[in-house]
Amino acid sequence: MQRNKVIEVNHVSKRLGNRTIIDNLSLHVNEGEIVGFLGPNGSGKTTSIRMMTGMIKPDQGSIKIMGYDIQAEFSLAMKHIGAIVEQPALYGYLSGWENLMQAVRISGMQINKERIEWCVRMVQLQERMQEKVQRYSLGMKQRLAIAQALLTQPKMIILDEPTNGLDPSGIIEMRTLIHKLRDETGVSVFISSHLLSEIEQLCDRVIVIDQGKTLAAKEMSSLGHAAIALTVQDDQLQSAYHLLQLEGLHPVLQNARILIQEEAKRIPSLVNHLYQRGIHVYWIEKTKQSLEDFFLDTTQGKERK
C-alpha cells in the first residue's frame, strides 16, 4: 500500500562555516508513522531538523511538507507540522497557559478552547497551567512544548532529542506520551535521538545518519528477532554446533558463543539434550541482535573507511 508522504527531503546539502554539515540527505516520513532519526552527537540531526522547519536554508535540494515547499510556501507548509528544535524555547516569565496562547494567536487558524484544553490534558499539565514556566522542570517544559506543537492538529510533529536531559521516569513518560499521541490522533512523529534504546521501542522505522549522510533506513520489523546465545567450553564449540544443526536449527558462531533463533519454551529441553551428549552449557543469554548492532555496524563501518 502506498501511503502519503508527510515530509519529503530530497538530496539536501548544507554547508556551515566551511564544513559540509549535511551531505546529500534524502528521507521521507509517511502518514501515521513514527520514524526515528538516529545518529551520534554532532552528526547533523539538529541541522537537518532546522532545515525541515525552515529555520535555515539548504544550499541544495528541496524539502516538501504535504507537497508544499518549505522555502517558497512557508506558511502553508508550516501549518501542517509542529516542532521542537533542540531545547524547548518558552517564555519563562509567562504562565504555561499564556505560552500556549502565544502559539495559538499566530497559528493562522481558529483554535477553540476545547482544543487547547485537550492538548493540555494530553501532556498532563492541567494543574500547572497557571504557573510561570520558569518554575517548570525540564520534563514539564518538554511536555508543554509538545502541547504547543499539537495545537494546530498537525500532520506531523518533529521532536529533536525530546528525552535529552530527562531522568529515567521522564523518559518513560515521554515515550508513553508519543505512543499515545500516535494511537489517538494518527499523527506522524519524527523523533531524533542519539540513544538507541529509546528509539528502538518506539519507532516503526529508523533512519541512521552520520556525518551528514544517511547511512541506512530500516523497518523495525525487518530487524532480526532477539537471539539466544549459548556459551560452552571452547573445545566443545564445534560439536555443539553440529548437534544444534541436527536439531534443525540454524546456529551462528559468534566469538565463543553460539547464537540460535529459538522460542524460549524450547530452551530447557535443548540444553538438556546437549547435556546428555556431554556438552555443558555455562551461560544462556538473550542477545540484542537488533537495532544496537545495526546502529553500531553502520556507524562504525562508516568510520573505518
Ligand X SMILES: Nc1ncnc2c1ncn2[C@@H]1O[C@H](COP(=O)(O)OP(=O)(O)O)[C@@H](O)[C@H]1O
Kindly list the residues in this chain that would bind ligand X in the complex (CB under 6 A): 16-17, 21, 39, 41-47
- Which of 4, 55, 172, 201 binds other proteins (CB under 8 A)? It is 55
Q: How far apart are CA 268 and CA 240, in angstroms?
A: 15
Q: How far apart are CA 40 and CA 291, in angstroms?
A: 14
**Nearer of residues 30 and 87 to other proteins, judged by Cβ:** 87
Reading phi first (left if > 0) and then psi (alpha if -120 to 50, else beta), residue 197 is in alpha
Count of positions on this chain that bind Mg ion (CB under 5 A): 1
- Which of 107, 185, 231, 287 binds other proteins (CB under 8 A)? It is 107
Q: How far apart are CA 214 and CA 85, in angstroms?
A: 20
Q: Is 85 in the site for other proteins (CB under 8 A)?
A: yes
Residue among 138, 146, 91 at smallest CA distance from 119 = 146
Cross-strand partners of 192: 37, 160
Binding partner at 54 among Mg ion, other proteins, ligand X, none, C-beta below 5 to 8 Å by kind: other proteins
**Nearer of residues 45 and 79 to other proteins, judged by Cβ:** 79
Binding partner at 41 among other proteins, Mg ion, ligand X, none, C-beta below 5 to 8 Å by kind: ligand X
Cross-strand partners of 28: 8
Cβ 9 to Mg ion shortest distance, Å: 17
Site string for Mg ion, 46-75 (x = CB under 5 A): x-----------------------------
Q: Is 83 in the site for other proteins (CB under 8 A)?
A: yes
**Nearer of residues 111 and 166 to other proteins, judged by Cβ:** 111
* 3-state SS assignment for residue 245: helix
Q: How far apart are CA 158 and CA 123, in angstroms?
A: 16
Q: How far apart are CA 294 and CA 296, in angstroms?
A: 6
- Which of 30, 94, 204, 293 binds other proteins (CB under 8 A)? It is 94
**Nearer of residues 35 and 84 to other proteins, judged by Cβ:** 84
Half-sphere exposure of 286 (CA within 13 A, CB side): 6
Residue among 224, 199, 233, 244 at smallest CA distance from 286 = 224
Residues contributing to the site for Mg ion (CB under 5 A): 46
Chain residues that interact with other proteins, rule: CB under 8 A: 16, 50, 53-57, 74-79, 82-83, 85, 87, 89-91, 94, 98-99, 101-108, 148-149
